[in-house]
Protein backbone atom coordinates (compact mmCIF):
# COMPACT_ATOMS: atom_id res chain seq x y z
CA UNK A 1 0.00 0.00 0.00
CA UNK A 2 1.33 3.45 -0.93
CA UNK A 3 0.45 6.67 0.91
CA UNK A 4 1.20 10.27 0.03
CA UNK A 5 1.20 12.33 3.25
CA UNK A 6 1.12 16.10 3.76
CA UNK A 7 1.35 18.28 6.88
CA UNK A 8 1.07 22.07 6.63
CA UNK A 9 -0.77 22.60 9.91
CA UNK A 10 1.97 24.58 11.66
CA UNK A 11 5.24 26.36 11.00
CA UNK A 12 6.65 23.23 9.36
CA UNK A 13 5.81 22.11 5.82
CA UNK A 14 6.28 18.38 5.27
CA UNK A 15 5.57 15.87 2.51
CA UNK A 16 6.25 12.12 2.54
CA UNK A 17 5.75 8.98 0.49
CA UNK A 18 5.31 5.69 2.36
CA UNK A 19 4.94 2.20 0.95
CA UNK A 20 3.91 -0.57 3.33
CA UNK A 21 6.43 -0.46 6.20
CA UNK A 22 8.97 1.71 4.35
CA UNK A 23 9.42 5.46 4.32
CA UNK A 24 10.35 6.06 0.68
CA UNK A 25 11.05 9.78 1.09
CA UNK A 26 10.28 12.73 3.31
CA UNK A 27 10.83 16.44 2.65
CA UNK A 28 10.44 18.71 5.67
CA UNK A 29 11.14 22.44 5.90
CA UNK A 30 10.95 24.63 9.01
CA UNK A 31 11.96 28.01 7.67
CA UNK A 32 10.64 31.53 7.08
CA UNK A 33 8.59 30.79 3.97
CA UNK A 34 4.86 30.41 3.58
CA UNK A 35 3.31 27.08 2.75
CA UNK A 36 1.91 28.62 -0.42
CA UNK A 37 5.55 29.06 -1.53
CA UNK A 38 6.88 25.69 -0.41
CA UNK A 39 4.27 22.94 -0.38
CA UNK A 40 3.66 22.33 -4.10
CA UNK A 41 7.38 22.63 -5.07
CA UNK A 42 8.23 20.17 -2.27
CA UNK A 43 5.57 17.77 -3.48
CA UNK A 44 6.79 18.04 -7.05
CA UNK A 45 10.41 17.46 -5.99
CA UNK A 46 9.68 14.40 -3.88
CA UNK A 47 7.61 12.83 -6.66
CA UNK A 48 10.40 13.40 -9.19
CA UNK A 49 13.19 12.20 -6.89
CA UNK A 50 11.42 8.91 -6.14
CA UNK A 51 9.96 8.34 -9.63
CA UNK A 52 6.58 8.03 -7.96
CA UNK A 53 3.61 7.46 -10.23
CA UNK A 54 0.82 9.42 -8.58
CA UNK A 55 -1.73 7.05 -10.07
CA UNK A 56 -0.12 4.28 -8.00
CA UNK A 57 -0.89 6.13 -4.76
CA UNK A 58 -3.65 4.35 -2.82
CA UNK A 59 -4.64 7.19 -0.50
CA UNK A 60 -3.63 10.75 0.39
CA UNK A 61 -3.21 11.56 4.09
CA UNK A 62 -3.18 15.07 5.51
CA UNK A 63 -3.01 16.71 8.92
CA UNK A 64 -6.57 18.03 9.12
CA UNK A 65 -6.20 20.34 12.11
CA UNK A 66 -6.13 22.05 14.43
CA UNK A 67 -3.36 24.46 13.57
CA UNK A 68 -2.68 27.50 11.45
CA UNK A 69 -5.87 28.43 9.62
CA UNK A 70 -3.95 29.45 6.51
CA UNK A 71 -1.75 26.36 6.61
CA UNK A 72 -4.71 24.04 7.02
CA UNK A 73 -6.51 25.65 4.08
CA UNK A 74 -3.45 25.31 1.86
CA UNK A 75 -3.02 21.66 2.83
CA UNK A 76 -6.71 20.95 2.31
CA UNK A 77 -6.76 22.62 -1.11
CA UNK A 78 -3.67 20.66 -2.16
CA UNK A 79 -4.94 17.21 -1.18
CA UNK A 80 -8.47 17.87 -2.38
CA UNK A 81 -7.12 18.91 -5.78
CA UNK A 82 -4.87 15.87 -6.01
CA UNK A 83 -7.53 13.52 -4.71
CA UNK A 84 -10.11 14.80 -7.16
CA UNK A 85 -7.71 14.72 -10.14
CA UNK A 86 -6.42 11.22 -9.31
CA UNK A 87 -9.73 9.87 -7.97
CA UNK A 88 -8.06 8.88 -4.69
CA UNK A 89 -9.55 8.90 -1.18
CA UNK A 90 -8.33 11.25 1.55
CA UNK A 91 -7.58 10.45 5.18
CA UNK A 92 -7.65 13.40 7.58
CA UNK A 93 -5.41 12.86 10.59
CA UNK A 94 -5.90 15.02 13.68
CA UNK A 95 -2.78 17.17 13.86
CA UNK A 96 -2.10 16.40 17.50
CA UNK A 97 -2.30 12.65 16.85
CA UNK A 98 0.24 13.06 14.06
CA UNK A 99 2.60 14.81 16.46
CA UNK A 100 2.14 12.05 19.03
CA UNK A 101 3.14 9.44 16.44
CA UNK A 102 6.64 10.98 16.40
CA UNK A 103 7.27 9.36 19.78
CA UNK A 104 6.24 5.84 18.77
CA UNK A 105 6.84 3.21 21.43
CA UNK A 106 7.60 5.45 24.38
CA UNK A 107 6.36 4.26 27.77
CA UNK A 108 5.67 7.84 28.88
CA UNK A 109 2.55 9.88 28.27
CA UNK A 110 2.79 12.13 25.21
CA UNK A 111 1.52 15.71 25.31
CA UNK A 112 1.80 17.65 22.04
CA UNK A 113 1.48 21.42 22.40
CA UNK A 114 0.68 23.75 19.53
CA UNK A 115 0.60 27.46 20.29
CA UNK A 116 -2.96 28.74 19.81
CA UNK A 117 -2.18 32.24 21.19
CA UNK A 118 -3.76 33.97 24.19
CA UNK A 119 -2.21 31.41 26.61
CA UNK A 120 -4.12 28.68 24.76
CA UNK A 121 -2.77 25.51 23.17
CA UNK A 122 -4.04 22.84 20.84
CA UNK A 123 -3.21 19.71 22.74
CA UNK A 124 -4.20 16.21 23.84
CA UNK A 125 -2.76 13.35 25.88
CA UNK A 126 -1.68 10.05 24.34
CA UNK A 127 0.12 6.82 25.17
CA UNK A 128 1.27 3.73 23.30
CA UNK A 129 -0.04 0.31 24.28
CA UNK A 130 1.06 -2.82 22.43
CA UNK A 131 2.34 -0.69 19.55
CA UNK A 132 -0.91 1.24 19.06
CA UNK A 133 -1.57 4.89 19.80
CA UNK A 134 -4.19 5.26 22.53
CA UNK A 135 -6.07 8.49 23.17
CA UNK A 136 -6.08 9.47 26.85
CA UNK A 137 -7.51 12.94 26.19
CA UNK A 138 -8.89 13.99 22.80
CA UNK A 139 -7.34 16.99 21.06
CA UNK A 140 -8.78 20.26 22.29
CA UNK A 141 -8.06 23.98 22.50
CA UNK A 142 -7.46 24.81 26.15
CA UNK A 143 -5.36 26.87 28.54
CA UNK A 144 -1.78 25.74 29.06
CA UNK A 145 -2.32 25.56 32.82
CA UNK A 146 -5.41 23.39 32.33
CA UNK A 147 -3.53 20.71 30.41
CA UNK A 148 -0.70 20.80 32.96
CA UNK A 149 -3.27 20.29 35.73
CA UNK A 150 -4.72 17.30 33.86
CA UNK A 151 -1.25 15.76 33.58
CA UNK A 152 -0.58 16.33 37.26
CA UNK A 153 -3.82 14.52 38.12
CA UNK A 154 -2.86 11.51 35.97
CA UNK A 155 0.49 11.46 37.75
CA UNK A 156 2.65 9.77 35.11
CA UNK A 157 5.86 10.72 33.32
CA UNK A 158 5.21 12.85 30.24
CA UNK A 159 7.04 14.01 27.13
CA UNK A 160 6.15 17.39 25.64
CA UNK A 161 6.63 18.31 21.98
CA UNK A 162 5.36 20.81 19.41
CA UNK A 163 5.81 24.49 18.65
CA UNK A 164 4.07 25.39 21.91
CA UNK A 165 6.97 24.07 23.98
CA UNK A 166 9.33 27.06 23.54
CA UNK A 167 6.40 29.44 24.07
CA UNK A 168 5.24 27.85 27.34
CA UNK A 169 8.42 26.17 28.60
CA UNK A 170 8.70 28.44 31.65
CA UNK A 171 5.08 27.81 32.69
CA UNK A 172 5.53 24.06 32.24
CA UNK A 173 8.67 24.03 34.36
CA UNK A 174 6.94 26.06 37.07
CA UNK A 175 3.63 24.16 37.21
CA UNK A 176 4.34 20.52 36.28
CA UNK A 177 4.53 18.13 39.24
CA UNK A 178 5.43 14.89 37.44
CA UNK A 179 8.60 13.71 35.75
CA UNK A 180 8.85 15.27 32.29
CA UNK A 181 11.12 15.78 29.29
CA UNK A 182 11.00 17.79 26.09
CA UNK A 183 11.33 15.87 22.81
CA UNK A 184 14.55 16.50 20.84
CA UNK A 185 14.74 18.43 17.57
CA UNK A 186 14.32 15.53 15.13
CA UNK A 187 10.89 14.57 16.53
CA UNK A 188 9.50 17.71 18.18
CA UNK A 189 7.61 19.22 15.21
CA UNK A 190 5.14 18.02 12.59
CA UNK A 191 6.38 15.35 10.17
CA UNK A 192 4.42 14.03 7.20
CA UNK A 193 5.91 10.57 7.78
CA UNK A 194 4.17 10.40 11.17
CA UNK A 195 0.89 11.47 9.55
CA UNK A 196 1.37 8.72 6.96
CA UNK A 197 2.06 6.04 9.58
CA UNK A 198 -1.06 7.03 11.51
CA UNK A 199 -3.03 6.88 8.25
CA UNK A 200 -2.42 3.11 8.05
CA UNK A 201 -4.51 2.74 11.25
CA UNK A 202 -7.29 4.87 9.78
CA UNK A 203 -7.19 2.91 6.52
CA UNK A 204 -7.75 -0.34 8.40
CA UNK A 205 -10.81 1.24 10.00
CA UNK A 206 -12.02 2.47 6.58
CA UNK A 207 -11.90 6.03 7.99
CA UNK A 208 -11.42 7.84 4.70
CA UNK A 209 -13.55 10.09 2.50
CA UNK A 210 -13.79 11.20 -1.09
CA UNK A 211 -11.67 14.25 -1.86
CA UNK A 212 -14.69 16.53 -2.27
CA UNK A 213 -15.97 15.52 1.19
CA UNK A 214 -12.78 16.36 3.09
CA UNK A 215 -12.84 19.37 5.40
CA UNK A 216 -10.22 20.73 7.81
CA UNK A 217 -10.98 20.65 11.53
CA UNK A 218 -10.19 24.09 12.92
CA UNK A 219 -11.59 23.29 16.40
CA UNK A 220 -12.26 26.96 17.05
CA UNK A 221 -13.16 30.06 15.05
CA UNK A 222 -10.43 32.12 13.42
CA UNK A 223 -9.52 35.48 14.93
CA UNK A 224 -11.28 37.28 12.07
CA UNK A 225 -14.45 35.25 12.66
CA UNK A 226 -14.31 35.88 16.42
CA UNK A 227 -13.88 39.62 15.86
CA UNK A 228 -16.80 39.66 13.42
CA UNK A 229 -19.08 37.91 15.93
CA UNK A 230 -17.98 40.27 18.72
CA UNK A 231 -18.75 43.25 16.49
CA UNK A 232 -22.18 41.84 15.61
CA UNK A 233 -22.96 41.38 19.32
CA UNK A 234 -21.98 44.99 20.05
CA UNK A 235 -24.05 46.24 17.11
CA UNK A 236 -27.10 44.35 18.42
CA UNK A 237 -26.88 45.83 21.91
pLDDT tens digits, one per residue of 180-208: 999 999 999 999 999 999 999 999 999 99
Calculate the alpha carbon distances from 7 to 14, 61, 75 in Å.
Answer: 5, 9, 7
**Are 3 and 24 contacting, i.e. CB atoms less than 8 angstroms apart?**
no
**Are 91 and 199 contacting, i.e. CB atoms less than 8 angstroms apart?**
yes
pLDDT at 235: 60
The answer to whether residue 225 scores a pLDDT higher than 90 is: no
> Does the structural domain 2-96+190-221 have CATH classification 3.10.20.600?
no
Every domain of the chain with CATH number 3.30.420.40 lies at: 2-96+190-221, 103-187
The answer to whether residue 114 scores a pLDDT higher than 90 is: yes
Q: How far apart are CA 5 and CA 26, in angstroms?
A: 9
Domain 103-187 carries which CATH code? Answer: 3.30.420.40
The confidence band for 40, taking pLDDT boundaries of 50, 70 and 90, is: very high
pLDDT at 233: 54
Amino acid sequence: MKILAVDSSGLVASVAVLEDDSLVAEYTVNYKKTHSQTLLPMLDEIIKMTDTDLNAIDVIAVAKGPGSFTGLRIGAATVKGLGFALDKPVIGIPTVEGLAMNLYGTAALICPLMDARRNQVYTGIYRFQKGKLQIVKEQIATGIEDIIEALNLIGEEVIFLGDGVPVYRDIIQEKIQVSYTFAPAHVNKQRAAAVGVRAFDYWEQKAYVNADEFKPDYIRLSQAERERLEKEKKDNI
